[in-house]
Structure 1
Amino acid sequence: MNNETTEEYSLQEQVEDHESTIQQKYGTFGGVFVPTLLTILGVILFLRQGWVIGNAGLLGGWLIITLAFIIVTFTALSMSCITTNIRIKAGGAYSIISQSLGLEVGGSVGLPLYLAQTFAITMYIFGFREGWLYIFPGHYALLVDIIVFGLLFTVAYLSAQLAFRIQYLILAVIAGALISVIASVFSGAMEYNIQWWGTFPGAPDDNFQGGSFWVVFAVFFPAATGIMAGANMSGELKNPKKSIPLGTLTAIGISYLVYMASGYWMARVAPVDELVSNYNVMIDYAFWSPMVLFGLLGATFSSALASIVGAPRILQALGDHKIFPRGEVFSKLADNGEPRNAIMMTGGLVLATLMVRDLNTIAPLITMFFLITYMMINLVVFIEQRMDMISFRPTFKIPKFVPFLGTVGCLFTMFIINSTFGLIALGFVIITYLYLTNRELHVPHGDMRSGLFVSLAEWAAKRVSGLPENNERAWKANLLVPVRSARELRGSFSLIRNLVYPKGSVKLVGMSGNNESSAFRDSLMDFAISFSRENVYTQWSIIDSDDFKDAVLNSLQTLQGTFFRPNILFLRLPTYKRYDEELYAIINEARNNNMGIQLYVEDPIAQLGRSSSINVWVREQSPEWDLSMELGNMDLALLTAYKLKVNWKAEMRIITAVEQAQVKEAYRYLKNLLEAARLPDVQAHVQIGTFAEAIQHAPQADLDLLGLPKNPDLDELRSYVEQTQSACVFVADSGNENILA
């Protein structure tokens, strides 16, 4: 039994740690718990916690703390869930999102996340400087910033391991600061009555003009962020599936208890007036004030250190996937596994932003980028849970309401904090996504997008099945194109493309005999790829059959049982009669299956000419010439012609042939038809004489569309090409089209 267990564990480690290299060496405590805890226990705890309690009261402050931590806890639960279902790579949140929703979505969130992490380094340096100048007010601010940046950059450049060792020291300092706060309890400092619900007087910065619950919440919420500090090291953890959930959730739990307890302590040690006006309450009322001040410096320094170590890892992952041009430069690792090119780039950005001297104007934007990242992680898990795919088998399971509430909570918080910056951040993400979509990124791994779209399609199909079968307003051209030879398809390629573009589709069915080589299959696949490049959705298949007619008939019958079935059969009429009997049988079967028909007869000399003019022939409507919703065999011809007019940017005419006495009624009918069909810029033309006379003297076009009789004389149809001196398409309605709809 013990041997079996050992073998199973070894196999699991081989699977999970197959890509483990020298840089993947950090455990749960050092790699996740400590950086996460130190990032959450930051400036807000030491400088703004008292102001929150003074404005909101103890119950209001606890409610604010709890609400903020609920949102980030739900996000941490979602992150823990998804990390136990995928093999998370370098990049933390970027890796999670890109593996689930694709590189485009991952990159659109990962790039602003990297910028937010980078700008946050500058913000933490500024926070450290403020604490330093509290001790040494005579020191030059810019010099302090540069020295602190130099220390941070040197540590990050040398080794992340060195950074983690320094964070152990900082953890001890912060623990000492909290012990100094606790020790004040025994000195009789807690002497004031508790104000349970505050009056929200505001802040000294705005002369106490008043505030609200949500304004105070917006000030406090950044304290609860920082939960990605450990996840950012995902590429260098021994076991990220274990370390990220355990380390992150433990850090959040301990941080929550610290904030709740410190809130109670502040409500007892200082009067409300001082809480809202003195940001240094924790320093002033601690048992030993210098220790708390050292804790403040340690908290800001450790947060900056976690960010300057984590941000380059995100940039390295972005570069590895070529999210931006020449990004591979930043994906390179040094001999010790450090992404030093990414560290240098990050350091350059931080140094540049330090020269700005004031990032208060964009500080809310930094928070927005973090919130968008949290929202996307929740959304990933929410989608995965709703899809109920067999591939979603996380070992850390969470209730379905968790990612939903996490998504809603993050979105709500964005607009509570600053709706303007929320919209700007979302706009930045959308623009980045559109840019990455156009870059056609190479996806090195699968994602759930195909499953998502399949699930949506299945959901839609089930809903549509309960609706009336024929929805004329939703009609679009979905062609079934039997292909006997690649040369034949090459001659029809342009016409087929313009018959369906942009929303229609093409189903190519190649008819290959058993003795055919694979060259035909390759040609058909190439044509399908060419249609796709023209933004036409295309599928293709091969039927191994020596009998073209039977193969087409079987295709017609089989495809009628599919949900996304073709609604038009596109055929070519050859100049020779060899296949006429087959065509008769195929046309009749298409009519029996309620499919529209487009029978193309090519002009062997002019082909499609300049593709600049189209004639549509309408049968005469005597004696009444009344327009009704039932146009007869005319709807598909008009829809086809109008689609070609738009795609070719061509002129279009509708023509009818009548006797002299009916000319006025014919013009009236055609104009009413054009108006009812909403066909602007289409000419109405009446040709005097019989149809046989009119077709020879009508205005010249590059393509003429005519009705396909029920029992067509194929030789007569061929003759129309010579009479019109243009290519012709003979069209038969299925009964499901309506140009007037």
Structure 2
Amino acid sequence: MNQPAEGTLQQQVDERELNVKQKYGTFAGVFVPTLLTILGVILFLRQGWVVGNAGLLGGWIIITIAFVIVTFTALSMSCITTNIRIKAGGAYSIISQSLGLEVGGSVGVPLYLAQTFAITMYIFGFREGWLYIFPEHYAILVDLAVFSVLLFIAFISAKLAFRIQYIILAVIVGALLSVGATIFTGVLEHDILWWGEFPGAPENDFEGVSFWVVFAVLFPAATGIMAGANMSGELKNPKRSIPVGTISAILISYGIYMAVAYWLARVASTEELVSNYNVMIDKAFWAPAVLGGLLGATFSSALASIVGAPRILQALGDHGIFPGGDKFSKLAKNGEPRNAIILTGAIVLFTLMLRDLNTIAPLITMFFLITYMMINLVVFIEQKMNMISFRPTFSVPRTVPIIGTIGCLFTMFIINPVFGLVALGIVIATYLYLTNRELKVPYGDMRSGLFTSLAEWAAKKVSLLPSNNERAWKANLLVPVRSSRELRGSFSLIRNLVYPRGSIKLIGVSSEQKPDVLRDSLTNLADSFRKENVYTRWSVLDSKNFKDAVMDSLQTLQGTFFSPNILFLKLPHQSRNDDEIHSIINEARMNKMGIQLYAEDPVAQLGRSASVNVWIHEQSPKWDLSMDLGNIDLSMLSAYKLSHNWNATMRVITVVEESEVENAYEYLENLLDISRLKNVIPHVEIGSFEEAMQSAPQADVDFFGLPDDPDLEKLRYFVKVTQSACVFVADSGNENILA
């Protein structure tokens, strides 16, 4: 997949932002669309049912819980938007700049679809109000007419959409004034029922509902707080406009919902509230004004969504979240993402033809809630890390994102646990897909800081634990390298000695290669190890003395976190460097490091990688099995890991006199049983050790113990006799095959 260079991609995004001719302020760009989205169809058609079921106090509690959740989310959003340079895409931009494109895209794609499907839902809501006035009109024609008007407005420009929203705002204000005017007409005649009996709805023959079912009906009214944030790329000052506009709209909306709830409790009986969804229209001072408010609310919500959704799609296309996304990131001369608008319109038209989205309506709410939850999580993580880069001008207490996260998660599973799991599954599947796409990040995010903080926390915890934790042991190899050529020959062996949880530290010593050449070679080799899912680090020492460079590395690296615990050396075919090898081995022993001295068979090399032999000393006369096995543990662990990764046959071999055969087999079987090494074959040879090496079953790699003062020529002889690669191993004392 061809990806543009990071700098080029960022420049293209910045140029698109500069090409947006119209920049909007707080009132027009954030406050009005957010307010109109919240003051929607539920206010006019369902709040009476909520109050009728829950009573005034219960209704106020439901309203308050819903608005607390979205208010805390808005506070978190305000906090993070004042700490970053927010780009186009609203919530997608916020999340991707913090947790990376993969996480941002996994939320952004479902958010775009939810915003698009919501347009259809709002059109259906408008149609219901329209047919209340003109019942003889065809529903499909009303839907198509409203869709055409919405698409035309969005296609012309967002500026026209915002101007129309002023008219709609005036209509909704008129509807609320018509409601408020009734206090002078004497209709507030009913006594307040503070706590309801939750009788249910006409659709279920008033069989009763729970408090949380009523909450689930009202909660979508509190969503829509992203209506302004979706325009982030076209705001004059998003850092100021998003916090001020969003929070102001939420607070005013909350006051309106609370006041209307009181009005409803006073103007109608409980029976009328739960059975008549049009009670607000019927009880208003002038019914047409409220009906106009209903139509205006659904139309404005659809308009805000059809303007905002293409901006999310445009931002997704900017960063190559989906194939061919660059087509939808293009802007027209007036700054409108018209290709994105056309695709959004096509999706809406398709969903209109389905005629009923009630079955997926809860899924739309779930995607909004997941988005809100991720924004809260972003702030919580940023606060927890205490990074110096986190300096928001709008700070919030740590309890704000915690409550916001828990509230969103709780609401998801209160409304519909099945759809909650489905929505989370879609987000996770999208994340896995985007991870495999290897997206190029055009800006920095906090992931490296997050992982660094986790590593620092883990390092502090590990430092308090015993240093020789045998159960937590894993192979961390230190591999000195004279030239990249010799390392390539050992690549498969080294990889399979540490995979999957171990690590490799490559130390290049430029005694035979120029530092720049060796550095480039090690970079490529380290990348190859990483592609094999092995954590690899490397460094190059500019030194002419291989022995001193390796010995200095051994001493220095012992004080680091994730310090190597095994020195991997390659035994040269010639003996001219034997003194150097001896000195390095002795230094490793002094630093309590394990040692793996690899002697390659020049002909067979690693053979078929199908069999591994481990040779251990005979234990006569007592044949006792204790926790201290001598110099066996690292050989057994290394051979087991190698055979497991190769899917090879593993044998454990000892050589004894004929009278000790039975004892030897019993010892080996007990050793394998307590070591929990399944499918490992015990094997006993009779006679001398040299004869046994010739008669034992052939292996591709033989593991032997490394003596304290090894005769390197004798070790080379072992390779010749066994006709296989050999690894001579010395324990550090921190390994235990029985642990």
Q: Please report the TM-score for the alignment, with normalisation by the length of structure 1.
A: 0.97
Which residue of structure 2 lines up, in the alignment, with residue 511 of structure 1?
509
Q: Give the Å deviation of 1:254.
A: 0.6
After superposition, give the CA deviation of every residue in 1:591-640 in whole Å (9 maximum; x if it has no partner): 11111100000111111111111111011011111222211111111111
Corresponding residue for residue 12 of structure 1: none
Local SS of the residue matching 2:48? helix
**2:28 aligned with 1:30:** yes
**C-alpha distance in structure 1 between counterparts of 2:497 and 2:371, whole Å:** 43
Cα shift at 1:19: 4.9
Aligned pair partner of 1:80 in 65, 72, 78: 78
| Superposition pairs of residues 635-650 of structure 1, within 5 angstroms | 635-650=633-648
CA distance in 1, matches of 2:395, 2:330: 35
Whether contact under 8 Å (2:116, 2:344) holds in the other structure is yes
Where 1:656 maps in the other structure, the secondary structure is: strand
1:331 aligned counterpart, secondary structure: coil
Residues in 2 aligned to 1:640 and 1:651: alpha-carbon distance in whole angstroms: 14
Say which SS state the counterpart of residue 539 (structure 1) adopts: strand
SS at match of 2:523: helix
Is the 1:506–1:536 contact (alpha carbons within 8 Å) kept by the matching residues of 2? Answer: yes
Other-structure match for 1:192: 190
- Asked if the contact 1:24–1:235 (Cα under 8 Å) also holds between the matched residues in 2, the reply is no
Aligned counterparts, 1:118-129, within 5 A: 118-129=116-127
Match of 1:52 in 2: 50
CA–CA distance in structure 1, aligned partners of residues 455 and 200 of structure 2: 52
Are the counterparts in 2 of residues 170 and 299 from structure 1 also a CA contact under 8 Å? yes
CA-based RMSD: 1.3
Q: Residue in 1 aligned with 2:165?
A: 167
Partners in 2 of 1:580 and 1:112 — Cα distance?
64
Residue 337 of structure 2 corresponds to: 339
CA distance in 2, matches of 1:330, 1:20: 17
Counterpart residue identity of residue 649, structure 1: N
What residue is the counterpart of 1:369 in the other structure? Answer: 367
Q: Distance in 2 between matches of 1:621 and 1:514?
A: 45
CA 1:671–1:515 in 2, change beyond 3 Å: closer, same or farther? closer
1:466 paired residue number: 464
Which whole-Å CA distance do the structure 1 matches of 2:613 and 2:486 have between them? 24
Equivalent in the alignment of 1:434: 432
Secondary structure of the residue that 2:650 maps to in structure 1? Answer: strand
Q: Equivalent residue of 1:598, what SS?
A: strand
Larger mean Cα displacement after TM superposition, 215-224 or 516-525 = 516-525
Q: Which residue of 1 aligns with 2:407?
A: 409
Distance, in Å, in 1 between the alignment partners of 2:268 and 2:570 is 90
| 1:600 aligned residue | 598
What is the aligned counterpart of 1:231 among 220, 226, 229? 229
Tell me, yes or no, if structure 1 residue 634 matches structure 2 residue 632: yes
- In the alignment, the residues of structure 2 paired with residue 34 and residue 516 of structure 1 have an alpha-carbon distance, to the nearest angstrom, of 66
Alpha-carbon distance between aligned partners in 1 of 2:554 and 2:17, rounded to the nearest angstrom:
50
Counterpart of 2:293 in structure 1: which amino acid?
A: G
Tell me the CA shift for residue 514 of structure 1: 10
For residues 196 and 738 of structure 1, what CA distance do their matches in structure 2 show? 70
Shift of 1:18: 11
Equivalent residue runs for 1:297-696 within 5 Å: 297-513=295-511, 516-696=514-694
Residues 677 and 212 of structure 1, relative CA distance in 2, 3 Å threshold: same
Residues 496-547 of structure 1 show CA distances to partners (whole Å, capped at 9, x for unaligned) of 1111111111000111249935111111111111111111110000111111
Taking the aligned partners of 1:367 and 1:310, their CA distance within structure 2 comes to: 16
**Alignment match, 2:135:** 137
One-letter amino acid of the counterpart of residue 430, structure 2: T
Could you say what secondary structure the match of 2:297 adopts?
Answer: helix
Write the distance in 1 (CA, Å) between the matches of 2:674 and 2:43: 70
C-alpha distance after superposition, 1:343-388 (max 9, x if no partner): 1111111111111111111111100000000000000000000100
In structure 2, the CA distance between the partners of 1:547 and 1:322, relative to structure 1 (3 Å rule), is same
Q: Distance in 2 between matches of 1:265 and 1:78?
A: 32
Segments of structure 1 that go 5 or more residues without pairing to the other structure are 1-15
Shift of 1:656: 0.7
Q: In 1, are the aligned partners of 2:20 and 2:336 still within 8 Å (CA)?
A: no
Q: Look up the match of 2:96.
A: 98
Amino acid in structure 1 at the alignment position of 2:356: D
Aligned length: 726
Q: Using the alignment, how far apart are the partners of 1:514 and 1:325 within structure 2?
A: 47
Q: Offset at 1:21?
A: 3.2
Give the conservation status (yes or no) of the 8 Å contact 1:556–1:593.
yes
1:17·1:238 contact (CA, 8 Å) conserved in 2?
no
- Structure 2 CA distance for aligned equivalents of residues 23 and 198 of structure 1: 53
Length-normalised TM-score, structure 2: 0.97
Residue type of the alignment partner of 2:429: I
1:464-505 Cα distance to aligned partner (Å, 9 max, x none): 222222221111111000111111111111111111111111
Identity of aligned residues (%): 75
Corresponding position of 2:106: 108
5+ residue gaps, structure 2, are 1-13
Local SS of the residue matching 1:249: helix
Cα distance in 1 for partners of 2:463, 2:515 equals 41
Which deviations, in whole Å up to 9, do the C-alpha atoms of 1:159-216 show, x marking residues without a partner? 1111111111100100110011111111111111111111111111111111121111
DSSP-derived class of the 2:682 partner? strand
Partner of 1:297, secondary structure, is helix
Q: Distance in 2 between matches of 1:492 and 1:257?
A: 72
Given that 2:483 and 2:513 are in contact with CA atoms closer than 8 Å, whether structure 1 keeps it comes out as no
Q: Is the 8 A contact 2:515 2:540 kept in 1?
A: no
Of the three residues 206, 209, 213, the one matched with 1:208 is 206
CA drift at 1:20: 3.5
Query: What does the per-residue CA deviation read over 1:400-426, in whole Å, with 9 as the maximum and x for residues that have no partner?
Result: 110111001100111111111111111
Q: Which amino acid aligns with 2:395?
A: K
SS of alignment partner, residue 355 of structure 1: helix
The reply on whether 1:702 has 2:700 as its aligned counterpart is yes
In the alignment, the residues of structure 1 paired with residue 300 and residue 623 of structure 2 have an alpha-carbon distance, to the nearest angstrom, of 86
Q: Is the 8 A contact 2:482 2:511 kept in 1?
A: no
User: Separation in 2 of the partners of 1:334 and 1:450?
Assistant: 36
- Cα displacement string for residues 701-735 of structure 1 (whole angstroms, at most 9, x for unaligned residues): 11100000011001100111100000100011111
3-state SS, counterpart of residue 677 of structure 2: coil
Distance 2:567 2:673 in 1: 29
Report if the CA contact (8 A) 1:52-1:220 is conserved: yes
Look up the match of 1:3.
none
**Distance in 1 separating the partners of 2:372 and 2:639:** 50
User: 1:625 touches 1:665 (CA, 8 Å); kept in 2?
Assistant: yes
CA distance in 2, matches of 1:517, 1:127: 71
- Structure 1: which 4+ aligned runs deviate by more than 6 Å? none
Matched residues in 2 for 1:373 and 1:581: separation?
64
In 1, Cα distance between the equivalents of 2:514 and 2:107? 50
Give the letter aligned to residue 325 of structure 2: G
Does 1:291 pair with 2:281?
no
Partner of 2:3: none
Partner deviation per Cα, 1:204-253 (whole Å, 9 max, x = no partner): 11111111211111110000000000000111111111110111011001
- Whether 2:679 is the aligned partner of 1:716: answer no
Q: What is the aligned counterpart of 1:249 among 247, 250, 261?
A: 247
Q: Is the 8 A contact 1:660 1:688 kept in 2?
A: yes
Contact 1:514 1:544 (C-alpha < 8 Å) held by counterparts: no
665-674 vs 90-99, greater mean Cα deviation: 665-674
